[in-house]
Every structure is written in structure tokens, then in C-alpha cells.
Amino acid sequence: MNRSRKLLIVILLGTSVAALFLAWRNITSPTDFADLKTVLTTTTATFGSLLGIITAGLMFTHGKFSELASELGEKSPDYLSGTLSLEKVQTIGNNLLALRKTFSLLETQTTVEEEKNLYRRVVEKASSMYVDFAVLSDLKLIQQGLAETDLMISGMDPQLYVNYKKERNQVKKEWHILVTIRQMVDTWEGSKTLVLEKYQKRTSLQQDLRNSISLLGLKERLDKNSKHVRAETEEICNELAEDIGKIGKQLHQDRIPQLLSQMENANTIRGKYFYLALAFIATPLFINLLILPQLSIGTATFFQPIISITSSLSVMGIAFLLLYINRILNV
Amino acid sequence: MSRVKKTVEEQMRTLLTKYTYPPVEVVIPILEKAGRGEEELASQLHEMDMSVLSGIMKILNLKEKNMRTVSKMFGVLLSYYGQKYEPAELSENRFCLSVSDCPMLHVGKNVNTAVKSKFCDVFCSSTAKAMAQLVLGPNSSCSWDKALIKGGRKCTVAFELVKTK
């Protein structure tokens, strides 16, 4: 758990405790009718003002998101038409299928759990990349107005096909193509963004393959029969490194991973702002439409706990807002 | 200036990607189960160490055969693998560094300390042997205290030149 998340939790807990304490104090102390009416009106006004600021934040994050989406949307067709030729996509696809087949077999042949895990990781990552390439191949055919072929789909087993359909359905906008390309490059070379914890936990396919080749080299010294497997794997690994290396280089030159990461942040904050705005719209409406018109001394006593909590919530709202302003400035 | 630097970095990356060491956490269980293969592993490691270290010397144009060269080579090697290290001593006859992480620490918990210690010797002696062959010559020695395997915080590796009369 990172530091900012811990801080956020501490602040929220602190504010919640303060809000509940204030609510409890107000409930236990006698409050007259006029005071309650003033509290409700002030709370409504506070929520209204905060809603204005939240809406501005929502618009700002949405603006930033749209700006990034448009920038990435302009870049994505170049990748399909230039960087990824049909021939290259199919060569890479064939290499990934060959890896999948070889390592599935190796996985069944070993009884050592650690070795099995290494080969399983290769199979999983090669499958994931194959799915990405099948999606890109399909999009490329659409872009070029060519008839769809099931060339890459025919090499899939049912599970891989399910993954392919799922992945394909996720690509709805032009910039989503870049998400697929980044995902594929990240699987191959490991994420190069500064999320060190994640990076250390997950090895890249290239690293797993190099480790496997080295391991197969050792096994080759022990058993001469495995020689062809290592040589073939090494050849495929080198070809993939060259092909995907070029795509990755282009991606990093265009700063696509950074732009996508900024976009993901903007999208997350936009979503939070949206729900926050909903809460801040609903609360004054609830007060104005349901409580205030019916406020008599009798109902005032009945609604007293709710009124105390909503007025304390407006204090919490300010704390939330300050945190989000801090986050938005760092997008 | 930056272009030259980038070329060196690229060369280094290519070299160290080409020669990947077999993953310790996988190799040890395999060899333990097979009950053989240590000699083959030592021979593979030595060949790789010779290629990697001579490659580093060539890329960095290190011609002097002294402790300073050893320290530079270790710096490059450990930095590439993201290993934290501290050079503790560097003199004409001695180079000493401490590392706070070791691949042996990432081997499965079911592997006992004696096995880890045995493979630590296989890996470290291979590098020490290659360093002696390429840089320091036959009158050198290398020691490692295996403190990390024993539960310590840092492991110390020391290269020394043995004085001849």
C-alpha cells in the first residue's frame, strides 16, 4: 500500500470520527427548531457550493481525458498502417504459437514445480500476446478494407478464442488500439513505467524465455536430446526481440505509455468526481424536497440525527474536495 | 556525448541479454532432484562469466588489469541486475564490496541452507575464477562470507592479490 493511500485512509477515518462525534454531540444536546432550520439551510448552501466546485473539477478532468483521447486517437491509425505490417503480425503470431506449443509440451514433461511454473508463465504470456496480435490483425484488415480471415483465429483453442472475443469487444475507440499494443509490448519487455513494485513482481516474457533458454542449455549438457528445442526457442526469441523491440521503441518515442497512464489517471479521477457530484446533488435535494418543507417541531425532533450527520458531512465534503484537488493537480 | 553513452548502454544491454544466467530458484530444485549436474552448471556459468566479463571489458575499454577494473566491472554487472551494493574498500591489493540481496534468498523455502550454501559456492567461484583469468591473474583470491544465507543483513565479497616473494 503506498503512502498517499495510507494518508487518504487516515484522513477519511479522522474526518469520519470527527463527523460522528459532532453528530453525537448535537443529538445529545438540546437543539431548538430555529437552530435546526438554520443548520439545514446552511448545509444545503454548503453542499450547493461544493457541488459547483466538484462540477468544475469534473469538467476539467473530462477535458483533460478528451484531449488525451484525441491525441492518442490521431496517432493510433499510423501504428496499424505503418509499424504493424500484415506480414509482421502474422510472423510474430506464428512465433508465439510455436512458443505456446513447445512450452506446453515442456510443462507436461517436467515434474519440478518451479520449472513447471516458469514454462507455464511462458505459455500464458505467449497466449496473451497472441490474442493481442489477433485483435490487431483483425483491426488492420478492417482499416484496409480487406476481407476478414480466420488465419489467426484458426490457431486458437476454445479458451484462447474466448479471450480473443473479450479483448476484441473492448476495442471500441481508436485509442484503444494503442492500449492493446502497449499491453503486448509490456508483456514482452516488462512495464517500463515507474511502478517499481509491480515491475518487480511480474517478469516479462522475454526474461522468462531467456531464463528458459539458459535452463535448456544446462539440460542440454545433461541430456543431448533437448538440443533442438533450445536452438529453436533461441531463434524465435531473437526474432521476437527484434520485431517487438522495434514496435516498443516507436511506442516509447511517441510517449504512448506515459500518455495512456495519464489518461487512465484522468479517467479514474473523472469517475470519482462523477460519483461525488451525484452525492452532492442528492443530499441538498433530499434536504430541500423532503425535510425542509415538512419541518415542524415534531419532525425536527424526528430528523434531528439525520440533520446533525448531514451538517457534519458537509465538513467531510471539504476534506474530500481538498484531496481531489491535490490529486487532479498531479494528473 | 550522450550518443556515445547511449551506444555503450545499448551494447551492454545486448551483451547481458544475450548471456542470461539460469534462474537459481529453478535450477537448484532441478539439480537437487536429478542428484547431478553441478559440474555442468559450473561449466556453463564459467563460460557465461568469461563471455560477459570480457564483453564488459571490451565495451568499456578496460585495459588495466587491477582492482579498479574489477570494481568497475562489478558495478556494471550488479547495477544491471538491480542489485544493491556498497563498495567497502578499494586499494591496490584489495577490493571489497557488500551486497544486501542475493539470488539465493529467492530460492524456495523448502531448500535448506546447506544446499543454498553449496550453490552459492558454485555461482560465486565461477565469477571469481573468470575474474582471475581475465583481470587479476593466478595470484589472486576471492572470498565471500555467505552472511545473507545465514540470516545476516549484508554479504561481503573480497578480492585480494596474494603477495609473492
| B30 contact A CB<8A | yes
Query: Cβ A115–B37 below 8 Å, yes or no?
Result: no
Percent of chain A whose pLDDT exceeds 90: 25
Taking the CA of residue A264 and the nearest CA in chain B, the distance in Å comes to: 28
A23 pLDDT higher than 50? yes
Q: Where are the beta strands (DSSP E) in chain B?
A: 85-90, 94-99, 140-144, 155-161
Which residues partner with B90 through β-bridges?
A: B95
Interface test with B, best of A120, A199, A218, A249 (most B CBs within 10 A): A218
- Cell representation of residue B130: 573468470
Average pLDDT over residues B29-33: 86
What is the rounded average pLDDT for all residues in chain A? 80
A108 burial type by CB count under 10 A (0-12 exposed, 13-18 middle, 19+ buried): exposed
A270 pLDDT higher than 90? no
Which ipTM did the prediction report? 0.84
Taking the CA of residue A111 and the nearest CA in chain B, the distance in Å comes to: 9
Q: Specify the amino acid at residue B122.
A: V
With CA atoms as reference, report the closest residue to A138 among A159, A182, A169, A162: A169
CB atoms within 10 A of CB B81: 11
Which tens digit of pLDDT belongs to each residue from A171-181? Answer: 888 888 899 99
Query: Cβ B22–A218 below 8 Å, yes or no?
Result: yes
CA distance B116 to B31: 12
CA distance A209 to A217: 12
Chain B residue with CA closest to A199: the answer is B82
B29 contacts on A by Cβ (under 8 Å): 112-115
Taking the CA of residue B36 and the nearest CA in chain A, the distance in Å comes to: 9
Average pLDDT over residues A182-206: 72
Query: Cβ A211–B20 below 8 Å, yes or no?
Result: yes
Query: Cβ B27–A218 below 8 Å, yes or no?
Result: yes
